[in-house]
Structures are given as structure tokens and as C-alpha cells.
Structure 1
Amino acid sequence: AQLGSSIHFEATLSGSGAIAQGDNAKAAAATGDKSIAIGRARDVTIIRQPITKPPALDKDAALSRYLSHTIASNRRLQLQGIRSSGELVSIDLEDIYITLSAVERRSVKDEEAWLDEQRRRAPGETMRRPAMSAAYAQQTRVKVQTALTHHPRLVVLGDPGSGKTTLLRYLALTWAREMAGEKGLVKKRLNLAEAEDRLPILLPLRDFAGYLAENHPNAATDGPKLLLNYLRTYFANQDISLPERFFAAPLAAGTCVVLLDGMDEVADLATRIRVSRIIEKFTIAYPKNRYIVTSRVVGYKGSVRLGQDYAVATVRDFNQEDIERFVRYWNLAVEITLAGEDAPVARQAAAKKTKALLSAIKKHERIRELAVNPLLLTVIALVQRYRAILPERRTELYEEAIEVLLGNWDEAKGMNAKTVLADLELDAGDRRSFLEPVALWMMENKRREIERDELGQQLRRAFVALAPDKRRQRKLIDAFLALINERSGLLTERGQGIYSFSHLTFQEHLAARAIADRDDYIDFILAR
């Protein structure tokens, strides 16, 4: 086409194509559907070529990446307080997982009565209240897996540390392995009647609540797409590259299992109610999938409760058989991991520690009452490993556990040698005192997570007495956070610059200590 001989053209092009500009441009080789060469030359050639689009993300490759990520993220449990060569030890979840028992309830009236009773008790309290124990004995005790077969939509309630999050991780791991090629695993582990190839989607609800507050403060626009859009955001933040409809297609087909963890960890009640309504709308939009939601008992009442045929199963305490199995599995996994191989010496050490711990649990009623809770049983096993005497009161047990978590990092060879903390001679009590005001601030602000900048501000108040110079304060805080994250497992970095206590129970205990240490603690409590 003749566009002229002496006029200089400037061009812009939208869509697929290429533009060659310049005084001597005659033509262009293009990868798009149109190529335009513009310049002072007389001849400008327009070449049409077939559209060549960027290759779409391969669905099979994306699924493989996602399943690999899900398996890798959930297959290991970090053992707080247990180290090898200075590093925290982790073990396979599947080596230690104990099937949870639960009580199924369907009647709303019965369920509310049950929940009211549950809220008034502490782990192990049923053993001290015979009348209540008799009432519990009349309930239908089933394995959580059995509840899954009965109810495609299930809310799993439980005390702090009862194993709710671990359950969801185990389920995500099981379904991911099934989809990755271990056929029959879901039926074997979960005893489901049908073989289920379901895509597991595990999502912490506290993260979703934060997303709502930051990006969608107006509840008037709430709908199922909010949760769907957040799924993409959540996994994109974990550097998992997935096609746009990676979740939408299987959700629409009803081939997913949606695992929503920690309704109670949405601290604000109004937001928790809002999240419940969004979950209901999501369930209506994608009705053929399996749904499992977890919560503490205290966080699930009134308007927070889910409709849309969600059944409720309340996790029951460990019985004696559960306790013995857990202690045996736990010690064996630890000893084999520390030894680096499944050697006879590791099994002998595990058997010895198991016998000693079970003997202590049977001997002391108060310890036995605590051991019915998986988290507390883990803490008991940890404390027994490093202490000659097990405390019988729960508060003392937490104290010992935190002492172990914060004190044993000194066993790491040369722990302080290369840090600015070397000359401060901090003991476990000092480290705990630094974390107490942090825990209190988080409880007062209804937070389970704290950003690095805010954490630094809270810690600075403690470090100002150690270093008046602000630059040195920052160095001390950086070193302290690095060590406590790597060595203790008590306060961990969950994401880039986002920290949380390893379990809400520890956060609550440290916050309570911070209040108890105040001279005006009575006025402080009454003011709230």
C-alpha cells in the first residue's frame, strides 16, 4: 500500500501485531496478525499472519504443581522444642496422626444445649464431673471419618489444641495424594463408600477475614465470588502459578473438598458472622462439593452458626487408648528423626521414654486430665523430655513448656556467638518477658497475626532499656526475632513479615502473664 513519500508517521497499535518505525523501514516480520511499517520510504507492506497466542498454562502441569505444594505444605509437623544440630525437628504428619473421635449432633436445640455445656468446661474437666460424664456417655461417639461419610457439609468443633487444624491438614494431604496417583487412599483412610477424586482446598479463615477488611469493607456486595477470588489471591501469594479458572471449574463440577480452618480465629464477631454468610452463599453456588469448617466451641454460636444443612461434630477428648497410641507414635517419630534412621537404638530409646511418660500419666490424676487434649499431651511429652518432674497444674505446664521452648535454644551450638545478643546473657525468663506485652497487644486488638513493623514497635519498649541507641535497638530486635523464629517455634514467621504464636493457647497464656505482672492488674481487668 502506498502511504506517501515524504510524510513521517507515528503509529500506535493495539491488539496483536508489530510496528516498525524509522526512516528506512520498508516492512516488518511480525508474530501477530498485522504488521505495519511506517517511515519515509515509499513502500509500506502490510503482512497478515496467523495469530500466535502465548501458550496457556498447561492444566495438568498446574494441577501437578498445586498437588505438590499441598503435599509439601502439610506432610510435615514441626516439633517445637525438639532440635537436631541446633535446628527444629519436623516429623511426618502421617506417622503420628491419631484418628479423632467426635459427637454428632443434628437438632438445633440439642446442639445449642451441648455447645453451652461445652463452653463451660476445660479440657479434662469431664473426668472430675461424674454427672456430666454420664450425660456424655449417652451421646453417639464416632470417628471423625464416620461423620464425614454421614455429612458432606460438616462443622468440626473442639477445644484449643484438640487437633482441628491437624485434621484438616491430614484430610488435605490424603486427598492430594489420591489425586496425585495414590488411588484408594481416601477410601482406605476415610472409609468413604465411594472413591473420591476431589481437589483439596485448605484455607485459613483468619486470612480471608483480613482480605475482606482490607479489600472489601462493604458487606453489601458480599457473594460467593468474594471467596472464589480470594482463593486465587491466597495461592498467588504463595507463588503458586495457576490458571484463572483453576478452582472455578472443579468447584462448579462439584469435585472439590473445601477445608475452611479456624472460624473462631476471625476475632471480630461482626466479621465472623459476615464470613459465615459468605460461606453459606459459596455453598449454595457450589453445592456438590464437600465442605468441612473448624472452630473452637466458644467461637461458634448464635448468628455465626452455619445453615445450609451443615451438621456439627464436636471433637471428643482422647481416651486412654488414644493417649497410649499418641505417646508411642510421638516418641518413636522423634527418636527416629533424631537418629536419622529407623535403628534399634532409636526404637529402644522411644520405648523407654514412652513407658516413663505413660507411667507418669497413670500415676497423677491431674496430669491424666490434661493428657486428654492432643496439644497438652504434646506439651507434656515435651516437658517430660527435658524435666525430671511433670507439673500437675495446667498453668504450670504451660510455664514449663514455654521455658523449654525459649530456653533450649541455647543447646544450639554457638547460638549467640555470631549475633549482637551474645553479650546480653538473656535467659528464658528474659525472652518470655519480651513476648508477654506482644501477646497482650495482640489479644487486646483481637489479632492472631502481627506485622513486622508493629512487632518491632512492641518489642522496642523492652529493648530500650538494653540499648538506648535506636540503631542498636533495631539490630537487637532483628537478631532476637531471627533466633526465636528459627530456634524456639513459639513465635514464627508465617509469611513475609507476618508473625504469629505457634498456638493461640500460648498467646493467651503469655497475655495473662502480662496482665498478672501489672501492679494495677485488678483495675486493668475491670476497665475491660
Structure 2
Amino acid sequence: RKVVRAVQSFAQRFRRIRMVVACRVRAYEGERNAAWQLPGWPTATLADWTLGQMQAFITAWYRTVAELRMRTEGWRDERQRTLHRAIAMREDLQHFGRQPLMITVMALVHLNDGRIPEERASLYGRCIDILLGQWEIAGKERSDYGTLMDYLGLPDADAQSLRPLLGKAAYEAHRAAQPGEVGSLSRAVLRTLVDDELKRRRHPNPSLGADKFLEYTDLRAGLIQASDAGDAYRFPHQTFQEYL
């Protein structure tokens, strides 16, 4: 609320300045977030990326990687060329790369493997591996949350072991979806799925662990992301839901 008042005060004082205030969608939309919505300000959601924006991202991505890893210009140019060509020739990759998160994951797959798998299922599988890996390393140096499994109270497990849970969640979301839409899970349904999984693992307090899972996914985006002010949960891309 202090931020809202500060933004409003600044805008009123400097009326000739054009301003854009940006944030995550789920942190702003819905009645739950009404207290910090800017009254009278128009709202818009960022458009999907175009092919040109994807290609610009790839160029910048490999330029930065080459500098950080001290790779040659030849290596950089070849990597840029192969990923540019793959996206230009494959409609599925163009659809996949519309979101910045997804094209970043695609670039990580290409960086690690040197290629983009021809079969879409293989690409989605590698992307899921990488996103699960982010739950393994997230916050180790930047926050008090640490990794997901540590936060849940399962320090000896790794995030890859959550695939069965994600498969169940994907099935329930897909079953609830309208044709052509990414389905969502209610908070209650996802919490029950997590609670059941933690009971199967003999977690000492499955109910608390389920609450912690929801809190973690609310605050740290991953393979399941909170939306609608935390009342629903979705996969970041319909193809992940279908694959799982």
C-alpha cells in the first residue's frame, strides 16, 4: 500500500512523465489484490513474443554465454545459427517460445545438449528436467527459502522424485480444462494431491508439508505456478501438462 501511495504521489507531482508500472499478473489481478491496484490506471498484459523477438533473444543469449564462458566467436556464431534455424523451421518451437520463460528453457536445453530434440516429447522432457532442477537450486544464495525439498522437510529427496505427483496434477488439470485451454487446479485439489504424496513418503507432518508446498510455489515460480491471486495453479505451458 505504501508503494501504491508513492506511485500515485509521484504521478500527480510529475504529470508530464509517462509511466509504466510492471509486476507479475497474479500479484495484481483479482479482488484479493484490490488494495494495491492503482485506481484509474489502465492495465494490460504483455503480448506473446514474436519470432523476431525470439531471434533477438537467442543472439543476445549466446553473445552473453560466449563472454561468460570465454568461448570463441566461431562457437558462438555456430550455436546462434543452429538455434535460429531450428526455431525458424519448426512451428512447434515458435509456439513454445512465445513466453520468455519457455524460450529461456529452450535455450538452456540447446546450451547443455548442443541441439534441440526433433521429437517434441523429448524436448518437453528435457525442459521439465531443467525446471525441476531450478527447484533444486532456487534460493540457495538469494533467500531463506532454500530448495523446495528442504523447505518441505525432505532434504534427502530430490525434486525429480516429484514427477509422479506432477503427473497426477497434470491429469487433474487436463481433465478439468476446456478444449484448447490450459487447465488449472484449485488450491484445495492441489493441496490434497501433495498431502497424499507426502503421506506416501511417510512425511512426519504431511498437512504442514502440503501448506509449505503451496507457499513455495506461490512465491517462487516453477513447474507449477500460482495464478488468480493464489486460488488456482497451472503449468506454465499446455504442452507440459499434456506431456506429464
With the shorter chain as reference, the TM-score category is 0.5 to 0.7
Give the CA deviation at 1:404: 0.8
Query: Does residue 1:387 correspond to 2:109, yes or no?
Result: no
Q: CA deviation at 1:396?
A: 0.8
Look up the equivalent residue of 1:240 and give its one-letter code: W
Q: Is 2:174 the partner of 1:472?
A: no
Give the match for residue 196 of structure 2: 461
CA contact (8 A) 1:386 1:404 kept: no
- How far residue 442 of structure 1 moved from its aligned partner, in angstroms, is 1.5
Q: What runs of 5+ residues in structure 2 fail to find an aligned partner?
A: 141-145
What's the secondary structure of 2:154's corresponding residue?
Answer: coil
CA spacing shift, 1:476–1:445, aligned 2, 3 Å: same
Gap change, CA 1:327 and 1:434, over 3 Å in 2: same
Deviations 1:247-289 (A, max 9, x none): 7xxxxxxxx6x7589xxxxxxxxxxxxxxxxxxxxxxxxxxxx
Indicate the residue corresponding to 1:508 in structure 2: 242
The SS at the match of 2:171 is helix
- Post-superposition shift, 1:349? 6.3
Show CA shifts across 1:87-108 (max 9, x none). xxxxxxxxxxxxxxxxxxxxxx
- Report the RMSD for the aligned CA atoms in angstroms: 4.5
Higher RCO (CA-CA < 8 Å; seq separation 6+) = 2
- Structure 1 counterpart of 2:186, which letter? E
Partner of 1:328: 59
Q: How many angstroms apart in 2 are the aligned matches of 1:238 and 1:68?
A: 23
Deviation string 1:467-490 (CA, Å, 9 cap, x unpaired) is: 2x7x62223333444555566622
Cα deviation code 1:84-134 (max 9, x no counterpart): xxxxxxxxxxxxxxxxxxxxxxxxxxxxxxxxxxxxxxxxxxxxxxxxxxx
Contact 1:328–1:351 under 8 Å retained in 2:
no
- Structure 1 counterpart of 2:56, one-letter code: R
Match of 2:223 in 1: 490
What does residue range 138-217 of structure 1 map to in structure 2 within 5 Å?
none
Matched, 1:237 2:184: no
Task: Go from structure 1 to structure 2 and tell me whether the alpha carbon gap of 1:506 and 1:463 turns closer, same or farther (over 3 Å shift).
Answer: same
Aligned to 2:158: 426
Q: Distance in 1 between matches of 2:171 and 2:135?
A: 24
Give, as a single letter, the amino acid of the residue that structure 1 aligns with 2:235: F
* Distance of 2:31 and 2:60 partners within structure 1: 32
Change (3 A) 1:472 1:462: same
Give the 3-state SS of the residue equivalent to 1:391 in structure 2.
coil
Q: Which of 4, 8, 12 is residue 61 of structure 1 equivalent to?
A: 8
Structure 2 residue aligned with 1:407, among 106, 114, 133?
133
Task: Give the letter for the 1:358 counterpart.
Answer: Q
TM-score, with normalisation over the residues of structure 1?
0.33
Shift in Å at residue 72 of structure 1? 2.6
- 1:452–1:497 contact (8 Å) kept in structure 2: yes
* CA displacement at 1:324 relative to structure 2: 3.6
**In structure 2, C-alpha distance between the alignment counterparts of 1:487 and 1:236, rounded to whole Å:** 19
Q: How does 1:74-473 map to 2 (within 5 A)?
A: 234=30, 237-240=33-36, 246=40, 259=44, 318=51, 324-331=55-62, 345-346=67-68, 354-361=76-83, 368-369=89-90, 370-373=92-95, 374-375=97-98, 377-412=103-138, 413=140, 415=147, 416-417=149-150, 419-423=152-156, 425-428=157-160, 430-446=161-177, 448-467=183-202, 472-473=205-206
Report the alpha carbon displacement of residue 327 of structure 1 after superposing the two structures with TM. Answer: 0.5
Note the C-alpha offset of 1:431.
1.6
Counterpart in the other structure of 1:177: none
TM-score, normalising length: structure 2? 0.63
* Rg comparison, structure with higher value: 1
For residues 479 and 353 of structure 1, what CA distance do their matches in structure 2 show?
43
Identify the structure with the greater helix proportion. 2
**Structure 1 stretches lacking a partner, 5+ long:** 1-57, 75-202, 205-230, 248-255, 262-293, 295-314, 336-343, 511-528
Identity of aligned residues (%): 21
